[in-house]
């Protein structure tokens, strides 16, 4: 098939009706329409709107982003709803002059992309069109083109998508204006996507929005409490795909590009706003980070407009201490000014507090909109935290998983065996510092005086360890060729088990930049977005994607991203479902 043919599906190919009408649909605020593929209405002007009879003849909806990305949908007209009916039933659409009064509903099937892709699995309900040809010059050009007897004139079509030149005038309708809605907010959507693991409840107890949504840790927590998501936002495309596969909602992209007035009314605002600006692992730029740090102020503008009853925010623990506490003071003062009662300090919570075997302390900010008492502290009491020893890592492990994808490499097995031999050979059994092989040599690589004091302390401890065990270590180094065949990461080791295990193969491990880290097998270390997949010693394999999901309390029905690298990254970025659910319960029960 030629490129020309790919761009030019006939009406009979797409819709099965030779006399059908092609409706040209543009994009909403950049390329958001092609991401949402939501619901659309078709007013051309106040005096010229598509009527019900015309709608029944429409067989194709065509969406495009500029001239580069084009998608064609097979359309089946299924009825009309008034704007008020949509507001009553679903909380949509927002009020405003740009929004029509009657909405045409279409069931659609994705047929073609710009490059001729075909995907039968993609289905949407379309109710309303998007902004197209709003610029006067483009609108005038379209009108000139459609009315011209010489439609093959290249000067007329040079700024228009190529497919227009292959449509008859009577086939083509240009539609303007836009609004968006999630698929599962419509009954037809539920029929189309019966495979969604976590559809919206028929009778929700409350509504919520999910900002910086990732793969929906907040969403799943709210879902388990009976909530219904009415809006989600997430800029990462891979995370959007995972989110949609599980909840039937394709998140809006850049939160900065949505008007707060277009976000539906909601009872709860959930937001795990980006943590990198405040994380110890990053540069800690905080609000100076123009791309991420200022995203808190997008939360602020939404709250200022909607006066949302409850807020649940999550971030790294370092948020409290960042900039000598000024970052938290800024967040606290801004929320109080908006009328929110907050806990005096953010809650510091970890999954292991609730028996989930993961050490991951995070900040959770809870608030209630109560302008008359905004300066009164909100008292939220969590249950007594469990100790690490009360957690059971075995409870989340897949004992029978022998998938070759999770097997260790020969070099990794060798490195673990070599360091296990080292631990058994030295006199010390409690090691409270990292082992750096380079400091066992006669000629150290760097003058310790050039190092910071904390690092000099580790060097001194390594030197002493070597002196205490010189005979064994010299023999061990020689037999293993000074570990020269191993990677730099594998030439370092951190034993963090005390005497609780006698072998590395009984422990929980990670190959990290700081070396092979060996930890007690009661609790897993915090999952992180940087892919350093933990190793389950007794099973001699990496942690599976499902086990990573369980560490973050994601239900086993959850569908991980099919790309393993993305799946680990996404669970590392996610909020823990149990942590959010337990905090939310106490917030909602507060009087």
Structural domain contains residue 39: yes
Candidate list 229, 275, 391, 583, residue with the active-site label: 275
Do residue 257 and residue 135 come from a single domain? Answer: no
* 438 confidence band (pLDDT: 50, 70, 90): confident
Whichever domain contains 362, its CATH number is 3.40.50.150
Do residue 413 and residue 467 come from a single domain? Answer: yes
Do residue 345 and residue 420 come from a single domain? Answer: no
Do residue 368 and residue 221 come from a single domain? Answer: yes
pLDDT tens digits, one per residue of 510-556: 898 889 999 988 888 777 655 678 899 999 999 999 999 999 999 99
Residue 293 CA to residue 360 CA, distance in Å, equals 21
Structural domain contains residue 91: yes
- Expressed as residue numbers, the domain containing 448 is 399-543
Number of domains composing the chain: 3
Query: For position 402, what pLDDT does the model report?
Result: 86
Domain boundary residue, one of 120, 149, 183:
183
Do residue 237 and residue 179 come from a single domain? Answer: no
Structural domain contains residue 26: yes
- CA-to-CA separations, 430 to 132, 424, 426, 499, in angstroms, rounded: 68, 12, 10, 6
Do residue 201 and residue 243 come from a single domain? Answer: yes
For the question of residue 229 being annotated catalytic, the response is no
pLDDT tens digits, one per residue of 296-335: 888 999 999 999 999 999 988 878 777 777 778 888 888 9
Do residue 303 and residue 199 come from a single domain? Answer: yes
Q: What is the mean pLDDT of the chain?
A: 74
Structural domain contains residue 567: no
The strand pairing partners of 69, in sequence order, are: 65
* 453 confidence band (pLDDT: 50, 70, 90): confident
Structural domain contains residue 556: no
Query: For position 295, what pLDDT does the model report?
Result: 78
pLDDT tens digits, one per residue of 65-101: 444 455 566 667 766 666 566 555 544 444 443 445 5
* 250 confidence band (pLDDT: 50, 70, 90): confident
SS percent in the chain: helix, strand, coil, step 5: 40, 20, 40
Do residue 251 and residue 158 come from a single domain? Answer: no
Structural domain contains residue 570: no
In 203-346, alpha helices (H): 217-224, 237-247, 296-306, 318-321, 326-337
Q: What is the pTM of this model?
A: 0.68
Structural domain contains residue 247: yes
Do residue 314 and residue 286 come from a single domain? Answer: yes
Structural domain contains residue 38: yes
Give, as one character, the DSSP assignment of residue 387.
Answer: P
Domain boundary residue, one of 183, 210, 225:
183
pLDDT tens digits, one per residue of 197-229: 998 888 999 999 999 999 999 999 999 999 999
Do residue 143 and residue 259 come from a single domain? Answer: no
Do residue 381 and residue 424 come from a single domain? Answer: no
Give, as one character, the DSSP assignment of residue 548.
Answer: H
Do residue 417 and residue 443 come from a single domain? Answer: yes
* 271 confidence band (pLDDT: 50, 70, 90): very high
Query: For position 47, what pLDDT does the model report?
Result: 37
Domain boundary residue, one of 183, 209, 243:
183
């Amino acid at each position: 098939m030629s490129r020309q043919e790919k761009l030019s599906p006939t009406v009979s190919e797409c819709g099965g009706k030779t006399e059908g009408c092609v409706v040209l649909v543009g994009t909403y605020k950049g390329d958001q329409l092609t991401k949402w593929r939501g619901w659309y209405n078709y007013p051309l002007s106040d005096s010229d709107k598509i009527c019900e009879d015309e709608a029944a003849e429409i067989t194709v909806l065509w969406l495009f982003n500029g001239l580069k990305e084009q998608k064609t949908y097979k359309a089946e007209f299924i009825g009309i709803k008034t704007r008020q009916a949509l507001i009553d039933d679903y909380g949509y659409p927002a009020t405003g002059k740009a929004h029509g009064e009657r909405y045409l509903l279409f069931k659609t099937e994705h047929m073609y992309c710009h490059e001729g892709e075909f995907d039968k699995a993609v289905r949407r309900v379309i109710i309303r069109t998007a902004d197209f040809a709003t610029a006067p010059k483009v609108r005038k050009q379209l009108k000139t083109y459609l009315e011209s007897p010489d439609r093959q004139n290249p000067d007329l079509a040079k700024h228009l998508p190529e497919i227009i030149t292959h449509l008859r005038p009577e086939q083509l309708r240009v539609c303007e204006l836009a609004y968006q809605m999630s698929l599962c907010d419509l009954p037809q959507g539920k029929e189309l996507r019966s495979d969604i693991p976590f559809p919206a409840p028929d009778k929700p107890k409350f509504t919520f929005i999910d900002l910086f949504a990732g793969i929906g840790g907040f969403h799943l927590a709210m879902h388990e409490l009976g909530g219904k998501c009415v809006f989600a936002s997430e800029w990462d495309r891979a995370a959007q795909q995972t989110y949609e596969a599980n909840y039937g909602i394709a998140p809006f992209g850049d939160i900065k590009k949505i008007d707060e007035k277009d976000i539906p009314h909601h009872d709860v605002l959930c937001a795990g706003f980006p943590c990198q600006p405040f994380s110890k692992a990053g540069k800690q730029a905080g609000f100076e980070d123009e791309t991420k740090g200022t995203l808190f102020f997008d939360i602020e503008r939404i709250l200022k407009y909607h006066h949302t009853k409850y807020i649940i925010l999550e971030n790294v623990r370092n948020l409290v201490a960042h900039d000598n506490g000024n970052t938290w003071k800024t967040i606290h003062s801004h929320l109080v000014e908006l009328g929110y009662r907050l806990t005096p300090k953010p809650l510091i919570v970890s999954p292991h507090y609730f028996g989930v075997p993961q050490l991951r302390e995070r900040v959770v900010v809870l608030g209630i909109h109560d302008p008359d008492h905004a300066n009164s502290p909100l008292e939220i009491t969590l249950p007594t935290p469990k100790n690490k020893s009360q957690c059971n890592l075995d409870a989340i492990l897949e004992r029978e998983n022998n998938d070759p994808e999770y097997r260790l490499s020969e070099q990794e097995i060798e490195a673990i065996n070599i360091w296990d031999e080292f631990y058994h050979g030295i006199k010390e059994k409690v090691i409270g510092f990292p082992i750096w092989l380079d400091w066992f040599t006669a000629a150290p690589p760097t003058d310790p005086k050039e190092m910071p004091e904390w690092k000099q302390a580790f060097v001194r401890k390594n030197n002493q360890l070597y002196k205490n065990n010189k005979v064994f270590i010299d023999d061990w180094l020689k037999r293993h060729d000074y570990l020269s065949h191993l990677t730099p990461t594998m030439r370092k080791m951190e034993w963090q088990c005390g005497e609780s295990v006698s072998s590395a193969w009984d422990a929980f491990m990670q190959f990290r930049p700081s070396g092979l880290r060996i930890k007690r097998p009661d609790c897993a270390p915090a999952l992180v977005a940087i892919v350093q997949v933990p190793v389950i010693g007794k099973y001699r394999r990496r942690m599976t994607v499902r086990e990573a999901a369980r560490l973050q309390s994601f239900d086993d029905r959850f569908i991980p991203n099919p790309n393993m690298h993305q799946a680990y990254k996404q669970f590392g970025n996610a909020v823990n479902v149990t942590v959010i659910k337990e905090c939310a319960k106490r917030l909602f029960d507060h009087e």
